[in-house]
Amino acid sequence: MLTFGISISTHAAEAPACVNGASDKNVKLLKSFEANQDPLKKAFLAETKKGPTPACEPAPNGAAKQAEDLKKISKASNNPPDDTGIWDLDDKTKTADQLPALIKRECINASLMRDPGQTGYACTSGKKSTDQNIANSYGQVGGKTQQCITADMVSYIQFSVNSAIKCLSPDVPVDSRVIYQKFNNETGFNYSIAWNGGAGIGQMTNIAVEEIADGNGRGLIEGVANSSKHSCQAFKDIAKSDLKRRPRINSGNYCDYVSAGDGLARNLMYGIAYYLHMRDSIIQPKLFQENKSFASNREIVSALTAVSYGAEGIKKARALADKAALYTKKSNPCKGKLTPEQCYLKMIQGNSVYLKAIRGKMGEMYCLKDGIDAASKACDSKKSSLTDKQLGANECVRPL
């Protein structure tokens, strides 16, 4: 089994402890992470007590208010909240099914050991600015140029992803399993990947960003900009700025979507907003039209949203949703062997190349998590023993 220890500080004479099997000489991405001073990074440092905010820099947005909120929660519950930054004042008033599950650290760590291919970029600052807006390619994400990922970086990515999930979740929360499968499949949670097919941890494209920033999903970004939720504090300034003028994904400089701070925050905000837009504005209404009972079935909605959210896109998801009316108690193609819901879900999974790819990458992750070479026969054997719940990422999330 792989173990995840406490990270070791990097000094000139001390090599970093790489938890992803990379060479400790490949530190361009690590140095970029360590140098970052954006709000998301500051929030991580403040919440996890990894170190003080530099005296010459302003405290993270709303720091005083957040401290007061913590006191209120502690007083109301007689217990202090987890010191993760992923809490909100109204959590105690919500039912379990109104709160999103959070992604587990060990699954993110295992994902980061995958070789997703493509080129990675480490963003740096100019002499007159702290903005990491200068993109420098470090080469392929895997192989000889695979960058060292430390335990602190894993914790930061977990904090960032879960904060974004919590921030954007409405009363019907984000299905964190879908988010985990998406990021594991496409980037292995490596936020530095970019190419002409997508940028950053969520592989965002200009079409998807435009649909959210300037189209029917704009209300989701407005919600972040105006939110008083603690989990949204590190994303608010980006939301406010982008509502006025958002940066396009530029092949000449990807940093607005791949840098360790604002790039990661922006990518997560748009990526999760796009998921919610697909789910709530397209998939659920379409299912309600075709088979009303399926519109409230979490597994079916999540599967179709994953299809629309992936490479096959909304056209494929709609084509699969068109068939929902055929799956009823009176006309069940599985003829009693499965319920109409189970039969329909099986059909979706069997007819989506993207969902099959997701399950394959989930198998790779479980092998790496257990210290098994992803290209070995032992991994093939392990993959064949994995359950639908494991392949569906159920074991990679936990209730809040």
State pLDDT tens for residues 220-255: 999 999 999 999 999 999 999 999 999 999 988 899
Quote the pLDDT of residue 129: 76
The reported pTM is: 0.88
Q: What would the mean pLDDT of 348-371 be, rounded to a whole number?
A: 96
Residue 400's pLDDT band, with cuts at 50, 70 and 90, is low
Q: How confident is the model at residue 85 (pLDDT cuts 50, 70, 90)?
A: low
pLDDT score recorded for residue 117 = 86
120 is written with which tokens? 């990675």
3-state secondary structure of 167: helix
Position 361 scores a pLDDT of 96
Per-residue buried b or exposed e for 7-46, using 16+ beta carbons within 10 Å of the residue's own CB: beebeeeeebbbbbebeeebbbbbebbbbbbbbbbbbbbb
> Is residue 180 predicted with pLDDT exceeding 70?
yes
Residue 111 sits at φ, ψ, to 5 deg, of: -60, -40
Q: Cα separations (Å) of 321 from 56, 125, 174, 178?
A: 55, 47, 20, 18
Q: Where are the alpha helices (DSSP H) in the chain?
A: 28-35, 39-48, 63-77, 105-111, 151-168, 176-186, 206-213, 218-225, 236-244, 255-258, 262-277, 284-290, 298-309, 313-321, 340-350, 353-369, 377-385, 388-391
Model confidence over 293-349: pLDDT tens digits? 999 999 999 999 999 988 899 999 999 999 999 999 999 999 889 999 999 999 999
The predicted model gives 119-126 an average pLDDT of 94
Residue 12 has pLDDT above 80, yes or no: no
CA gap 58, 26 in Å, rounded: 32
pLDDT at 48 over 90: no
Residues 347/335, Cβ–Cβ less than 8 Å: no
pLDDT over 60 at 358, yes or no:
yes
